Amino acid sequence: ILFMCELQKKSKISSSRKLGLKIRLLAVATQMLEEEKNQKMKEKEALLAERLPPLNLSGLSLQELQDLCKELHRKIDIVDEERYDVDLKVSKNDVEIENMKLKITEMQSKFKKPHLRRVKISAEAMLSVLLGSKHKESFDFKANLKTVKKEEEKKEEVTDWRKNVEAMSGMEGRKKLFDASGN
């Protein structure tokens, strides 16, 4: 039992200390996130103030207000066109990235077959490689093959058709043909 206890390593930090460190780390992380959010909001406000100065509508005539509205609509159209162009570029890039990812996965998953060379090896050598020490006797594979005898096809005797015409004419001839084909 003592041997097993020695094998198990005890952590140098107690569990209560670990918990305290985790709580402190989480508190610091949340504080950093809040600071980052505030900084982003300030940057956004500064950028908007730079691009869009505040509107001063007091003391403008009707014609000046209409001109101001037309100018704002023109700027909105320009911004919408730019946004559309950027969205189109982003979507094209996303499609291209997906296609490249697919190509990468296809290339990684393909198995390249090596070029095989023809090796001349006898049947006994192949058996000794495959079976190892179990291969003791040699086999004569050609001797074990069955021999196939080709049967000669029956050839019909070629006779002079003029001699057969009289014998095959009439019902008797047809009966002979029928009997010959049935056998």
Domain membership of residue 8 (yes or no) is no
Report the distance separating Cα 11 and Cα 22, nearest Å.
16
- What is the pLDDT at residue 21? 93
For residues 33 and 69, state if they share a domain. Answer: no
- Give the chain's radius of gyration (CA, Å): 49
Domain membership of residue 93 (yes or no) is yes
Which residue carries 């460190």 as its tokens?
21
3-state secondary structure 20-89: HHHHHHHHHHHHHHHHHHHHHHHHHHHHHHHHCCCCCCCCCCHHHHHHHHHHHHHHHHHHHHHHHHHHHH
Domain membership of residue 73 (yes or no) is yes
- What is the pLDDT at residue 126? 78
State how many domains the chain has.
2
- What is the pLDDT at residue 50? 85
Domain membership of residue 104 (yes or no) is yes
Domain membership of residue 1 (yes or no) is no
Intervals of the chain under pLDDT 50: 1-3, 7
| Residue span of the structural domain in which 85 resides | 60-113
- What DSSP element (H or E) covers 103? helix 62-109
- What is the pLDDT at residue 33? 96
Measured in degrees and rounded to the nearest 5, phi and psi for residue 36 equal -65, -40
For residues 66 and 105, state if they share a domain. Answer: yes
Q: Is the dihedral of CA 121, 123, 129, 135 positive or negative?
A: negative
The string of pLDDT tens digits covering residues 116-138 is 788 787 777 777 777 776 655 65
